Chain A
Amino acid sequence: MAMIQVKNLTRIFDVSKPWLNRVIERLPKAMLTAVSDVSFDVEERTVYSLVGESGSGKSTIGKMAVGLLKPTDGSVLINDIDLSRETDGGKLDKARSDIQMIFQDPYASLNPRWRVREIINEPVSARGGNVVGLAEKLLEQVGLSSLDADKFPHEFSGGQRQRICIARALASEPKLIVCDEPTSALDVSVQAQVLNLMSDLQENLGLTYLFISHDLTVVQHISDKIGVLYLGRLVEEATPDELFENPKHPYSQMLLAAAPKMDGFGREIDPPQGEIPDPINPPTGCAFHPRCPIATAKCSAERPEMRVVRGARVACHLAE
């Protein structure tokens, strides 16, 4: 049984103007489909990565996974508990203590008025747990000094703050950590340190990660499985080796071709064509067809289902 089961997950945001403006300007309601019919499973003790451009819905999926947003349709089951629909308070609390999140911006994710000790202890102290020595132990576990517990967040650098965030995420001994672009706000040199730390912790503590990123090189090394998102839809799901060696969806191919390569200095490549379409008025059929080099008439008429193609799941009529 998979730890996370995402089934037909859909999230629609109402981004309409205020009612009065709509009446005066005769505008219809504007509904933005951030996530559309996404399904995938994450096995326990593995790292599942979601990659995609800005606006592809990857953070929205992460927020729905931890219960910060309610799905419009479909569900996220974590160990068979649906956070947005569970009514049993005890079960919900137990499920919440198994889930934690690491955020993108280490400058906004720590309360500037709290001491590091209080920040790290909160997930435990909020439930009335014993926090004696907890912050010190966790700080050392993430490579900081136990003396840092009495400091305030502004006394730390971005990388150190992210370590504090990791320490907080570990405090309640969770089984699942959703990492929402945890390294994208950091310097490249610090990114590697933080990633290695997260990778070590994952192995040593038997954690499951749902890792959200736009950086393919980051994802390649840490993941057991990668899901590629385009305009709120999952277009391909494969192991890193399979995806990087042999991408099957035209979008994955374009994404990989556009990624910077160390040995490819001065290489001639075609830049990606077009832009991600407006999610308020998504294209018919396959969302990628306006940019796809191999699109046919069928692509603009019929939305492709996820199907298994040579060891990967792909949503493309033409992949084989």
Chain B
Amino acid sequence: MADTTPAPKPRGRLAHWWDGDFAYQFRRSPVAIISFTVVMLMVLAAIFAPLIAPYDPFDPASLNLMNGFSSPMEPNAFTGETFWLGTDDQGRDVFSTILYGLRISLFVGAAAVGFAMVLGITLGLVAAYVGGWVETIIMRIADVQLTFPAILVAMLIFGVAKGITPVEYRDQMAIWVLIVAIGLSDWVQFARVVRGATLVEKNKEYVQAARLIGRGSGAIMLRHILPNVLSPVLVIATISLALAIIAEATLSFLGVGAPPTQPSLGTLIRIGQGFLFSGEWWILLFPACTLLALALAVNLLGDWLRDALNPKLR
């Protein structure tokens, strides 16, 4: 019998994905679309800050102290220049500092979550797969760390790291120390979730089939188990990103985070709150709203992701 039906034309992966359940869930959720758009706009704005920003707020040559304390959308009394979101005491354009601050905030947040993820996934995977005293030690450390608020842990690590770095490198190193501090305070969630998922996966028969043919533990963990435990990690990573951005802002607000030479949104808010009661509200309000919008959008996206990837919650 001749096969008369022509084989269906193979469709691109993208088209396949777009028709899939995940993309469908996304298309019919206004919250997801809006928060995704907000996050993407902010990420693009941060990446292309030097191109978008009308001024370079960290180039002393372009600053004019006469522009200080300009109100938003009003021409400056002395120079006649107009700034969309006003200027601070040094005459720096608030809109430009927000763009640059967003850059630092997003970079620190993403890098800290990335660091926490790598550390947490590795430790969780090894703990669950190896078991025994290795598991006991790793998970007890995690439990102990959970009893302290993450921000305190981060401050502790930040303080110790600052103490051991030489003074002349402090400002340069501050961002990296911040990343490590936030990352180290946040790995526990990843480790716990990955451990739980690994405990389920490692007893499944496909893992036994791999052990049977003599596959080593490393290959089994990386190639077999890891791809199957990643979807809850994706959800936590998104929600952690919002928390990491807020943690960074909190540390910077308290004055232990990003240095004034590389201000993040938190640093801007700290600078701005000094002027709030003298009437220059815009220096505080605009960075604060940006941080709020960013954290909210990332959080909503994470919430939606959790629902979309867990069919039981629908």
Task: Give the B-binding residues of A (Cβ under 8 A).
Answer: 63, 66-68, 92-93, 96-97, 99-101, 103-105, 108-113, 122-123, 126-127, 168, 172
| Contact pick for A111, options B206, B211, B212, B214, CB 8 Å | B206
Q: In whole Å, how far is B136's beta carbon from the nearest beta carbon of chain A? A: 10
| Inter-subunit contact A126/B212 (CB<8 Å) | no
- The reply to whether A110 and B213 form a contact with Cβ atoms under 8 Å apart is no
**Smallest CB separation, A304 vs chain B (Å):** 34
Q: How far is the CA of A97 from the CA of B214 in the complex (A)?
A: 9
CB distance from B132 to the nearest CB of A (A): 13
Contact B210 A122 (CB under 8 A): yes
| CB atoms of A123 and B208 under 8 A apart | no
Query: What are 28 A-B residue pairs whose CB atoms fall within 8 Å in the complex?
Result: A66-B212, A67-B212, A68-B208, A68-B212, A92-B214, A93-B214, A96-B212, A96-B213, A97-B213, A101-B208, A101-B212, A103-B205, A103-B208, A104-B205, A105-B205, A108-B206, A109-B205, A111-B206, A111-B228, A113-B227, A122-B210, A122-B213, A126-B210, A126-B214, A126-B215, A126-B219, A127-B213, A172-B213
Say how far A94's CB is from chain B's closest CB, in angstroms.
10
| Those 7 A-B pairs whose CB atoms lie nearest each other, nearest first | A109-B205, A103-B205, A113-B227, A111-B206, A108-B204, A123-B213, A108-B205
Closest CB of chain A to B20's CB: distance in Å? 12
Contacts of B211 in A (CB 8 A): 68
- Contacting A at CB under 8 A, from B207-230, are 208-215, 219, 224, 227-228
Quick one: which of B208, B209, B224 has the most chain A CB within 10 A?
B209
Residues on the A chain within 8 Å of B224, using CB: 111
> Shortest beta-carbon distance, B231 to chain A, in Å?
10
CA–CA, A101 to B212, complex, Å? Answer: 8
Which of B176-229 touch A at CB < 8 Å? 204-206, 208-215, 219, 224, 227-228
- Chain A residues positioned under 8 Å from B210 (CB to CB): 122, 126
* Bound Cα distance A126, B211 (Å): 11
CB-CB nearest in chain A for B211: A68
Residue of B nearest to A66 (CB): B212
Taking a contact as CB atoms under 8 Å apart, the answer to whether B228 and A99 are in contact is no
Residues of A within 8 A of B213 (CB): 96-97, 100, 122-123, 126-127, 172
Nearest CB in chain A: distance from B209 CB, A: 6
Of A63, A97, A103, A172, the most chain B CB neighbours within 10 A belong to: A103
> Residue-by-residue, is B275-293 near A (CB-CB < 8 Å gives 1, otherwise 0)?
0000000000000000000
Question: How far apart are the CA atoms of A168 and B205 in the complex, in Å?
Answer: 13
What is the bound-complex CA distance between A67 and B215, given in angstroms? 13
| Residues on the B chain within 8 Å of A66, using CB | 212
Bound complex: CA A78 to CA B222 (Å): 31
Measured CA separation A99–B208 after assembly (Å): 13
A45 to B304, CA, bound (A): 56
Are A103 and B209 closer than 8 Å at their CB atoms?
A: yes
Q: CA of A7 to CA of B72 in the docked complex: distance in angstroms? A: 88
- Pick the residue among A104, A109, A127 that contacts B209 (CB under 8 A): A109
